[in-house]
């Protein structure tokens, strides 16, 4: 009886499966025929017109190719923008895992552009515990900012990032004692949630502090800066991945909450102007800095991509005419290798100076103009590992910002989906289903560990070079491999201005 019942259900199951298979085959045949007809009739794609249906495999394999290369075919040091070795280093630092390797380095130490550091013959005994000294930013502001950590979170907007990502960054930053830059998307409650120090960025659209016609709303800015966590204000003139072009947030990411924070329509593409409406020259930039500093009481500076330094020389001359207190409290130099959620490939790859040229040029200009001590230098642009940060400090930076490094710490797998609202890790999407994958309590710890491990390992480099504080590193401590495979000191590649031995601002 039982066997008969079982046989009956088995027959039903087989018949159902067969019927489903037949339906699937019929559906497949219909799809193929319809695709064949459409491909033969369309005029936009020659491959599909000549090879209907099977031509689609070319584009499928082309799309999958980047993933096959990433996981199967590329070596540890081949990929861009970040190779596997760099990503693994960040992942291990974020997990607070043992970051030692065996046998030997896979890094080609003879490749052009590779930096390495000059160890001291007799370094101090013992392990070097990094305790960087605080630097005062904005001595003439009513609320100057004293900050020690030289490695901080660069500008990433809420909207470009998801709410869970911003929350994790805020909580992790507070625990690590580093600042979090809001990016141009305005101040969200998630920035404040962790209790970390905040750098509020005013972009060209003045999101969050704008009037209906896109001008600065003083009342809104005062309300933002009334939060004690907001320690500095940064005027964004441009960013490394798209110099001369404003930010773009696709309409799919402009939720009701994001629209309210930014002061823009919901569901529409949000394109910032390519420059501030009220800043068209050095004098107007200086006026804006003075106005915002007086209005908020906070240190104020600006972020820019450099194509040349003539305008910085003009700015320095204007400072001397107006008085030392009028100077920007800081300048953030963003290299052309900087990242973004969406930018034209032409701008991303072909406009602006990379950080390794722009940073020393800015530092040297400030030295020559006698303003190096007054204006603090912050840099950003593909600095994700300890030796990236150490090189920037050696060149003359006071602080180093990183955005993509902290995205990797949050779990980014470099899937290159930032502009599509389909980020599989929940970091750069407003899709709640995908955001669910980012667990704030776990990722905030990874942010904390990544920041502290970078700071610790930069300290290891400094200790090996014979200095007590990473900010004591200078261009004599770093060498760069030339095109002949032989390294030269950074101080010969970028000599200090005459009469100046070091660019340190401490």
Give the tens place of pLDDT for each residue, 87-96.
777 888 888 8
Q: Which residues contact 445 (CB under 8 A, 6 or more apart)?
A: 172
CATH of domain 135-478: 3.20.20.70
**Residue whose structure tokens are 């990183």:** 402
Contact 410/165 with Cβ under 8 angstroms? yes
pTM to 2 decimal places: 0.83
* Predicted pLDDT of residue 200: 98
Find the Cα–Cα–Cα–Cα dihedral 300, 302, 308, 312, rounded to 10°. -10
pLDDT at 76: 52
pLDDT at 58 over 80: no
pLDDT tens digits for range 126-171: 766 667 899 999 999 999 999 999 999 999 998 888 999 999 999 9
Predicted confidence at residue 349, as pLDDT, reads 64
Q: Is 285 exposed, middle or buried (0-12, 13-18, 19+ CB in 10 A)?
A: buried
What does the pLDDT look like over 227-245, one tens digit per residue? 999 999 999 998 766 676 7
Q: Is 45 helix (H, G, I), strand (E, B) or coil?
A: coil
Q: At what angle do helices 218-225 and 282-296 cross, to 10 degrees?
A: 50
Position 183 scores a pLDDT of: 92
pLDDT of residue 506: 43
For position 503, what pLDDT does the model report?
46
The whole-angstrom separation of Cα 153 and Cα 169 is: 8
Q: Give the range among 5-19, 309-323, 360-374 with minimum mean pLDDT.
A: 5-19
List, as one string, the DSSP characters of 220-270.
HHHHHHTSTTEEEEEEE---TTSTTS--EE-GGG--HHHHHHHTS-TTS-E
460 burial type by CB count under 10 A (0-12 exposed, 13-18 middle, 19+ buried):
middle
Per-residue burial over 139-162, b if 16 or more Cβ lie within 10 Å, else e, is: eebeebbebebbbbbbbbbbbbbb
DSSP annotation of 70: I
Is 384:90 a contact under the CB 8 Å cutoff?
A: yes
Q: Is 322 helix (H, G, I), strand (E, B) or coil?
A: helix
DSSP string, 348-368: HHHSS--HHHHHHHHHHHHHH
pLDDT digits (tens, 9 = 90+) for 172-185: 999 999 999 999 99
pLDDT digits over 2-47, tens only?
556 667 677 777 778 888 888 888 888 888 788 878 887 877 665 5
pLDDT at 343 over 70: no
Question: Which residue ranges make up each domain of the chain?
Answer: 2-73, 135-478
The pLDDT, as a whole number, for residue 253 is 78
pLDDT tens digit sequence for 405-448: 898 899 887 777 777 777 888 888 888 888 888 889 989 999 99
For 328-468, strand residue ranges (E) read 330-334, 376-380, 399-402
Name 270's bridge partners: 249
């Amino acid at each position: 009886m039982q066997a008969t019942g079982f046989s009956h259900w088995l027959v039903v199951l087989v018949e159902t499966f067969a019927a489903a298979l037949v339906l699937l085959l019929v559906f497949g045949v219909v799809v193929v025929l319809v695709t064949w007809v459409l491909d033969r009739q369309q005029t936009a794609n020659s491959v599909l017109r000549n090879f209907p249906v099977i031509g689609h495999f070319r584009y499928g394999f082309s799309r999958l190719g980047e993933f096959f290369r990433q996981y199967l075919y590329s070596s540890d040091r081949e990929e861009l923008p970040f190779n596997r070795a760099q990503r693994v280093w960040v992942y291990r630092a974020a997990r607070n895992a043992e970051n030692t390797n065996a046998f030997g380095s896979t890094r080609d130490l003879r490749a052009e552009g590779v930096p390495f550091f000059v160890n001291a013959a007799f370094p101090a005994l013992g392990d070097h515990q990094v305790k960087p000294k605080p630097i005062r930013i904005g001595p003439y502001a009513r609320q100057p900012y004293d900050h020690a950590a030289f490695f901080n979170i660069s500008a990433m907007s809420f909207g470009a990032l998801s709410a869970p990502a911003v929350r994790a960054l805020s909580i992790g930053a507070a625990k690590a004692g580093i600042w979090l830059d809001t990016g141009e998307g305005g101040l969200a409650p998630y920035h404040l949630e962790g209790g970390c120090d905040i750098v509020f960025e005013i972009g060209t659209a003045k999101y969050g502090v704008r009037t209906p016609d896109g001008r600065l709303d003083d009342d809104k800015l005062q309300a933002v800066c009334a939060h004690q966590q907001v320690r500095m204000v940064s005027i964004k003139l441009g960013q490394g991945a798209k110099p001369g072009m404003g930010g773009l947030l696709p309409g799919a990411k402009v939720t009701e909450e994001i629209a309210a924070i930014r002061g823009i329509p919901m569901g529409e593409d949000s394109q910032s102007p390519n420059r501030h409406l009220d800043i068209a020259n050095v004098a107007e930039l200086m006026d804006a800095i003075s106005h915002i500093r007086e209005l908020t009481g906070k240190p104020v500076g600006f972020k820019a991509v450099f194509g040349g330094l003539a305008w910085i020389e003009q700015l320095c001359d204007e400072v001397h005419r107006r008085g030392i207190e009028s100077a920007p409290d800081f300048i953030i130099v963003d290299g052309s290798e900087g990242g973004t959620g969406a930018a034209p490939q032409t701008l991303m790859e072909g406009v602006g100076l990379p950080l390794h040229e722009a940073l020393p040029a800015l530092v040297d200009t400030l030295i020559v103009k006698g303003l190096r001590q007054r204006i603090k230098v912050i840099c950003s642009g593909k600095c994700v590992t300890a030796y990236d940060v150490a090189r920037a400090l050696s060149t003359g930076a006071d602080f180093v910002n990183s955005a993509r490094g902290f995205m990797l710490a949050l779990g980014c797998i470099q899937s290159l989906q930032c502009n599509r609202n389909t980020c599989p890790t929940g970091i750069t999407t407003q899709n709640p289903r995908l955001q669910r994958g980012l667990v704030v309590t776990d990722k905030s710890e990874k942010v904390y560990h990544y920041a502290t491990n970078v700071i610790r390992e930069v300290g290891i480099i400094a200790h090996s070079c014979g200095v007590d504080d990473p900010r004591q590193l200078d261009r004599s401590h770093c060498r760069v491999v030339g095109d002949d495979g032989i390294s030269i000191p950074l101080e010969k590649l970028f000599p200090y201005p005459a009469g100046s031995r070091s660019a340190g601002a401490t």
